[in-house]
Structure formats: C-alpha cells, structure tokens
Amino acid sequence: MNSFVSGRQRAAATFFPSRQSFRTAAITALSLLGFASAHAVVVRGRVTDALGAPLSGARVQLIENGKSVAFAYAGTDGSYEIRYSNGGRFTLLGSGAPYLPYVSPDFYGGATDVLEQPVVLALNTVRQDVSVSATGIPTPLPQLTAPVTVIPGDLFADQLGVSDLVRQSPGAFVVQTGQTGGVTSLFLRGGNSTANLVLIDGIPADDIGGIFDYGTVSSTAVGRMEIDRGPNSAMYGTDAGAGVVTIETPRGSTVKPVLNYSGDAGSLHEYRNEVNASGTLSRFDYFGAFSRLDSSNALPNDRYHDATSAVNLGYDFNGNTTLRVTLRNSDSATGLPGAHDFIGITNHAKQEDQDLYGGVTLENRYHDKWHNLVRYGIARKREQAYQYGNVGTPVTYTYSCGTNCTYNYTEYFGNVVTIRGANGYTATGQTSIYGSNSDQDSNRDQLYYQSDYSFSPHLIALFGFRYDKERGSFNDAEFFENEKVKRTNFEYNLQFQGEFKNRLFYSLGGAVEKNHLYGIAGTPRLGLSYVPVRPSLKAFHGTKLRANAATGVQEPSLALEYNSLYSQLLAMGDAADIAAYHIGKQSAERSRTYDVGVDQNIFGEKLVLKAGYFHNVFDRQLEAVTSSALVQYFNYPFIYNTSLYSAYLNSLAYRAQGAELELVWQPKPRFLLRGGYTFLDARVLQSFASDAVDANSGSPTTNPSYPTIAIGAESPLVGARPFRRAPNTGYFDAQYTYKHLGLQLLGAMASRSDDSTFLDYSDLYGGNSLLLPNRNLDFGYVKLDLGATYAWKYGVTVFAQVNNLLNDQHIGPIGFPGLPLTARAGLKLRLGGDK
C-alpha cells in the first residue's frame, strides 16, 4: 500500500543526520501518521486502463482548490491510497505514460471518511466515458457487452434541442413532423417510436405506453445523453422494447460560484436566452438553469415557444452518503398548421404541453463494495389541443338517421393540390382539414430501490425493485370521449456482471414484471465480450468482439387501451366474432434481439472502427383495425355513424435486421472526425387486416388511378417495410479547434422510406384518390449544419450557427415541409467559477 508522506515530514528528516536522530524522527513521523489516520480523509482505489488492467506506478494526485495537496503511486495491483488531514471537496488527477491524464468528477470527503475512487486512464481521451444505462452499474464503455452511444454535454452548448445530436448515433432514425417544436419521434433499429424508454435523471419521462416527443426537449440543462441500442426490459421493465435513452442534468462542480448567460437571435424571428448558475459549498452542490426560445417558423400559424427550467441539488452527509434532488419543467406551445403540402393552406390550431419531472435520490456506499440507492420520482405531463375556428372550403353533407330523420354534417376542405411522392407517383385533389379540441394527461409516480455488491472484479450482483403508479385521462370533444385509466405495476430484477483477466466480460440478468394490464412477463438478457488483442499505440492493436441477446416488453399507451378491439366487441355483445377470430384482451407487446459486433483500433486508438449486425423481432404488436376492416370482418354499418372508428389488438409482427458501422478518427489533437452508417432491412411478417381491405369492394385498398397497386392506407402490408424506417441512414461530425476558434460540421443523411399519405376517404369526392403507393413514398434527405465559436477572451465567447445548408425541404415525412436554411448568432458570458 502506498501512502502519502507530506513534504514537511520529509524536510524534518533532513535535519537529523545521525542514526539516533533518524530513529527519533521516524518514530515521530509514524506517530503523526497514526494520529492523522484517525482524523483524515482516506481516498483509495485502483488505477486501471479502460479494460480494468492494473497500471503499476501511475501517479494519483488529490486536488483541492486547484492545488495538489497529496499524492500516491499505484502498487503492482494498481491500488493506491491517499490520506489528507482536512475534509473538503476534491478532484483526482491521474497520470502515467503513455496514457493521457485523467481528471475525476469532484467529490466531497469528510475528515473521517474512507472513499473509494477508481481512476481509469485511456490512450485517446482525458475523459473515459462511463455508462450506467446499460447495466445500472457505472461501467467504462470498453467493458460493456451492449452497444451504447454517449453524447457529452458540451456538444449541446450551441444546439436549440436534442434531436440533431440524437441523429448522430448508429441505428437512430429521427422523424420530425413539422418545423421547430413539431412532434419528433425516434425509431431505433427499426423499432416503433413508442418502444424506447426515456429517463431524465433516472425518472421515466415518456408517456404511459412509451410515447415521447423529442421536439419539445430543450438543450438547456442537458449534461449528457446515453442511447442504449437494444431491448433492456431486464433492467428497466416495461417500455424498454427497442432501447433506452437517458438524459442527465449537470451538477455544480466549481468552488467559486459561476454564472453563465447565452443569448442569440436568428432568422424566422428566432430568439433564445439562457442563464444558469452552479457551484459547490462544502457538502452542498447546486445547479439551476432557465431558458426561453421563440420562433415563428416558416409557415403561418406555426409560432413556437418553450420555457425550460431545471434544478439539481446535492448534499453529502459524508463522503459515502448523498441526497440529491432534481427537477425539470418545460412549458411549450406550438401552432398546428397541419400537413401543409396536402391541404395547400395552414390550419389555425394550437397545441400546448406542460412536462414536469422530479426526483429525490438517496445513495450510499458501505465499505467500498456495497452500494444502495433509493429514488422516488414523478412525471406530470399535460397536453391540450385547440382548434381556433375552421379554415378552407365548407361542404355540407346530409345523412339519414331513420324515418323522417336527417342530419347535416359540414366538413372543410383545403385547396386543390398535387401530391407527389419520392417514388414518382402523383395525385391531385382536395383533402379535408381535421382539427379538434382535446386534452390529455399522463401521470406516473415511481419508487425504485437498487442494491449492488461487488464480491470481486469477477462478480458484481445487482438487485432492483420498481413500483409504478400510473394514471391518465383523455378527453376529446369531437368524439365525446372522456376516458380515465389507472395502472399499478411491479418489477423485480436481478443482474450479474464481471470480468476475467481483463479480457472476457459478461452481463447476465433478467426481470419479472407484474403489469396491471397484461399480467406477468419475464425478460432475460445475456451479453458477452472478449478482447483477444489489447489496445496499445501500435497499429491494429485493440480488438474487441461482443455478442448480446435481450428481450423487451411494452405496455399499450392510454389511447390504445381506450380503443381495445376486444373491449369494443364485448361492449357491443359480439361474443361470436371474439371467438371466431380468436380476439383476446390486450397483452404485452414483445421484442427480442441478438447482435454481434467488433471494435477495432487501427492506428493506436487514433482511428477506431466499430461494426455490428443486429436482428430484432417485434411481435404481438398492437395494430389498428380500421373502419374498412371492421366493416369487412364484422359487418358493422358505415363507420361514421358509430362511435367505433378504429380499434387495436396484438396482431402485428415484423422483423428488423441490419448492420451498423462507426468510425472515429483523430489524426491530430485539433481534428476530430466521426461518422456512421446503418443499413436496415425491416419486413412485416404478420397482420390481422394488413390494412388491405376496402370497405366497399372487400378487396385490397387501391387508388383508382393505380388499380393494380395495393396500398396500406393506415398501416403497412405484409411483406412491406414498416412506415418511416429508412433502409439507409448515416451521419458525420467534423470538428476543428485552433487556439480560440472552434468549427463543427454536422451531417445527417437518410434514404427514401415507406409511408402513407393517410388520406383514404378524405378527399372531396370520397374514395382513395389521394392515396399513393407506400413504397419509397418519403423523400431521402441530406441535412448539413455548420457551427463556429470564437473565445474572444476569458468569459466571452461569440458563436454562429447555420442549419440546413442545402435548404432541403424534405427532412420531414411527406406532407410536412421542414425548415429552410436558417442562421443565428449569439454571445456567451461567464462570470466567476474556477479558471
């Protein structure tokens, strides 16, 4: 064991040259050390490389207020120990050739605390990324068996939101229906947009059933994001059917308080102001932020504003016990111009969202090995939609409601437009304009307990318990709906992970979910990785092989539960059709995956290539049985005369397989190039109605102009691709820094994807004349964004951003024009803090 001996003690020894004097000085020094050990903060741990191999001789310094107050050298097993007589707030600085220096996050240590602080040195970065989302235990990325993308917080500094950086991940296809503030969804590795569990500071942030809108998430107070690509219900239970996305709020880390201000303005009447304050005070750390964004967008009646506030407060009872309180609130409002390219005018409507996430976490580490965490979190989500009068051309229809009974119904239609898909097919007509007044809320209270114990590097065990209380409501004035739902869910999970000889890593676990709606479901997971060639500065030294198999489970959203086909048929007394078509209650949507991959360092970690293959199956998915199929199968009357427009059951299955490539190249410290490509082959395997039934003819749905082409009006056909999953996507990030100047070019590319115009029975004369063939209906696109920063002097930075350099209007799905080329510029000010 290596302990720190102060410079004062070494100096004292030089004044006693005789043997007797030396013996006296030694006894005195040992006595002082013995006294200090009883009244000193002790910081110890192991110095390792990213794969956990010990680094003998590495130096570890204890830093307080920017000064080194103590140090130690790692022993043969990588262990070190530092003792310091005063408690306080510290950081660790680790160093050892040929590795780059390591700077730890700051931490508090009391005068009698014994703290465990691992030090991980890497060849290519001073910040060794550590993931928590994949296993629930902080683990360096090279030791993970699952594919995880980490997006550091500094990349969000010049962004308005998070969507563009989410595109910078393999397997991630982001779809934004509209412009700034428009509904934005993530399709991960071919999974549904509802199949990703989103956590903000460990608190589930998606609506009940997995719906999450990335378009209203500001970049304010985003300290870090992780994207875990693959089902992980073994760790998180329901809704983690395709992946897990985590967002973390920064915390204060400077001894001196720091105040940051950022303000910018740009085209389309865009204005943004943000202020945050942070720091530490002995046992206490604090961070608070507020921002406001306004934009008119490029369409009439499409103004958007968002006000986001966030707080992260921490208090250390001692060096091993911390209480943390987090809060994030967003209030936004956006116009709903509708599918402008379909109606030729803009609708006059508005949507408002109020999202609140809060949590209290108590965390303790006992004797370095036993870690316990308990968290209580809440999510309160509200959404209101308003229709401010009607626009377009009114057309009145007269319907018979019985003998001597008629009623009139007025519908509004847009201008005459010609719709053209990326596949070259066109249609001309007028489509109806829909709007409604509705409101909904989604509430969740969650209690989570985790206990993990490190028996040795070979075995770390984790036990978790999760309790969810979910409530929600949905009110729609047009359909006279007023629905309320309550659910109570429990989950138990058990996980094991470890390593052998710093080459073989494993992760094994599973969960049992007791869901209020679908009952009991089990979700196992297994991951392995092996490093046959350890990383070094030599060419092609550093090879990692990995394989992963996992399962996911998902509960229906509130809207889908409201419209269960089983419940609807049962309410209508149609037991015969329930039996004839084997229609059951809504159950869990399931997913399973396996993936394999290789990570290869090419030029001593300056050039790293990652390649992988994944195969996903999503079965028992909920699909809509629309009006056409209901008439065809169940002989119901014309659907507009009933309250049953569409209903849902677990009858859809599809597979999604593909390949991912990532490349990171840093030839010089001032250059960084990242890029990636994903190929996705997704196919529908099974469907109840396949959305290919026309209510009038009983034959597959077609457009009269294209009578030989079957069209999926509301959902894809069997054998076709699921909608809005581009088979080819890619991204790149080029960064250059020189002295005070920083430049960044972001690119995101996607090929054409299958989709629907969703315009069956909505044109002026009825029928399907505005439907277009699904194949390659959405346009491909290239989105280029250029940013520049210049640090004029300490505390003053100017920046500029130009987005969509190619002025590509097809970044959104068909019918929804994206933002044109936009530009903005601003100023950042920093006051206080540690230099």
Residues 39 and 174 in one domain: no
Of 220, 248, 276, which residue is a domain's last?
248
Write the DSSP symbol of residue 642. S
For residue 49, what is the domain's CATH number? 2.60.40.10
Tokens 């960084």 correspond to: 672
Write the DSSP symbol of residue 97. T
Query: Confidence class of residue 10 from pLDDT cuts 50, 70 and 90?
Result: very low
Query: Confidence class of residue 402 from pLDDT cuts 50, 70 and 90?
Result: low
What is the per-residue pLDDT for 396? 86
Q: Give the number of other Cβ atoms within 10 Å of residue 794's Cβ.
A: 8
Kindly report which listed range (117-126, 382-391, 459-468, 493-502) carries the lowest average pLDDT score. 117-126
Instruction: Say yes or no to pLDDT of 544 above 50.
Output: yes
Burial label, 699 (beta-carbon count in 10 A; 0-12, 13-18, 19+): exposed
Kindly report which listed range (397-406, 539-548, 825-834) carries the lowest average pLDDT score. 397-406
Instruction: Say yes or no to pLDDT of 36 above 60.
Output: no
Query: Both tokens of residue 78?
Result: 């990588």
Query: Confidence class of residue 632 from pLDDT cuts 50, 70 and 90?
Result: low
Q: Is residue 2 part of a domain?
A: no
> What mean pLDDT is reported for the chain?
88
Length of the chain: 835
**pLDDT one-digit tens code per residue, 569-621:** 887 788 888 888 888 888 899 999 999 999 999 887 789 999 999 999 999 99
What is the per-residue pLDDT for 644? 52
Average of per-residue pLDDT across 452-476 = 93
Q: What percent of the chain has pLDDT over 70?
A: 90
Q: Is residue 376 part of a domain?
A: yes
Residues 91 and 220 in one domain: no
**pLDDT one-digit tens code per residue, 208-222:** 888 999 999 999 999
**pLDDT one-digit tens code per residue, 484-532:** 888 999 999 999 999 999 999 999 999 999 998 888 999 999 999 999 9
DSSP string, 150-217: EEEGGGGTT-SBSHHHHTSSTTEEEEEESSTTSEEEEEETT--TTSEEEEETTEE-SPTTS---GGG-
Residues 161 and 310 in one domain: no
- Judge whether 591 and 616 are in contact, CB under 8 Å: yes
Residues 229 and 377 in one domain: no
Q: Is residue 397 part of a domain?
A: yes
Kindly report which listed range (3-7, 290-294, 516-520) carries the lowest average pLDDT score. 3-7
Q: Is residue 50 part of a domain?
A: yes
Q: Is residue 422 part of a domain?
A: yes
Q: 713 by DSSP, 3-state: which?
A: coil
Residues 638 and 771 in one domain: yes
Average of per-residue pLDDT across 84-102 = 91
For residue 445, what is the domain's CATH number? 2.40.170.20
Amino acid at 268: L
What is the per-residue pLDDT for 215? 94
Phi, psi of 533 (to 5 degrees): -125, 120
Half-sphere exposure of 329 (CA within 13 A, CB side): 8
**pLDDT one-digit tens code per residue, 675-727:** 999 999 999 999 886 665 554 555 678 899 999 999 988 889 999 999 999 99
Instruction: Say yes or no to pLDDT of 26 above 60.
Output: no
For residue 192, what is the domain's CATH number? 2.170.130.10
Query: Both tokens of residue 815?
Result: 């019918």
Q: Is residue 163 part of a domain?
A: yes
Look at strands 243-248 and 196-200 and give their pairing.
Answer: parallel
Instruction: Say yes or no to pLDDT of 633 above 80.
Output: no
Query: Both tokens of residue 47?
Result: 């110095």
* 18 vs 530 pLDDT, higher one: 530
CA distance 764 to 746: 43
Q: Which residues of 369-394 are buried (b: 16+ CB within 10 A; e: fewer)?
A: eebebebebbbebebbbbbeeebbbe
Query: Confidence class of residue 379 from pLDDT cuts 50, 70 and 90?
Result: very high
Residues 480 and 454 in one domain: yes
Residues 362 and 490 in one domain: yes
Average of per-residue pLDDT across 341-359 = 94
Query: Confidence class of residue 248 from pLDDT cuts 50, 70 and 90?
Result: very high
Residues 613 and 719 in one domain: yes
Kindly report which listed range (196-200, 310-314, 740-744, 767-771) carries the lowest average pLDDT score. 767-771
Of 200, 224, 248, which residue is a domain's last?
248
CA distance 661 to 170: 7
Q: Is residue 253 part of a domain?
A: no
Residues 447 and 327 in one domain: yes
Instruction: Say yes or no to pLDDT of 54 above 90.
Output: yes
Tokens 């102009």 correspond to: 705
Residues 134 and 117 in one domain: no
What is the per-residue pLDDT for 629? 67
The three state secondary structure string of 126-159 is CCCCEECCCCCCCEEHHHCCCCEEEEEHHHHCCC
Residues 765 and 782 in one domain: yes
Query: Both tokens of residue 796?
Result: 């003053």
What is the number of structural domains in the chain? 3
Please, which residues have CB within 8 angstroms of residue 709's CB and are 6 or more apart in sequence?
Answer: 702, 703, 773
- Judge whether 698 and 653 are in contact, CB under 8 Å: no
Q: Is residue 805 part of a domain?
A: yes
Please, which residues have CB within 8 angstroms of residue 641's CB and are 6 or more apart in sequence?
Answer: 399, 401
Name the strand (E) or helix (H) holding 345.
Answer: none
Using alpha carbons only, give the angle 570, 572, 576 rounded to the nearest 5 degrees: 65
CA distance 421 to 436: 28
Write the DSSP symbol of residue 106. P
Domain that holds residue 227: 130-248
Average of per-residue pLDDT across 355-366 = 96
Kindly report which listed range (91-100, 138-147, 478-487, 691-700) carries the lowest average pLDDT score. 691-700
DSSP string, 58-74: -EEEEEETTEEEEEEE-
Task: Tell whether omega for the bond before 98 is within 30 degrees of 0, i.e. cis.
Answer: yes
Query: Confidence class of residue 474 from pLDDT cuts 50, 70 and 90?
Result: confident
Burial label, 72 (beta-carbon count in 10 A; 0-12, 13-18, 19+): buried
Query: Both tokens of residue 255?
Result: 């001894």
- Judge whether 369 and 454 are in contact, CB under 8 Å: yes
What is the per-residue pLDDT for 310? 98
What is the per-residue pLDDT for 645? 62
Among residues 120, 166, 154, 114, which one has the least CA distance to residue 139?
120
Among residues 400, 397, 425, 437, which one has the least CA distance to residue 413?
397
What is the per-residue pLDDT for 511? 95
Average of per-residue pLDDT across 616-643 = 69
Q: What percent of the chain has pLDDT over 90?
A: 67
Residues β-bridged to residue 689? none
* 825 vs 629 pLDDT, higher one: 825
Q: What's the maximum distance between 2 C-alpha atoms anywhere in the chain?
A: 124
Average of per-residue pLDDT across 181-197 = 95
Write the DSSP symbol of residue 557. P
What is the per-residue pLDDT for 389? 84
Average of per-residue pLDDT across 349-354 = 94
What is the per-residue pLDDT for 210? 86
Of 97, 121, 145, which residue is a domain's last?
121
Residues 740 and 662 in one domain: yes
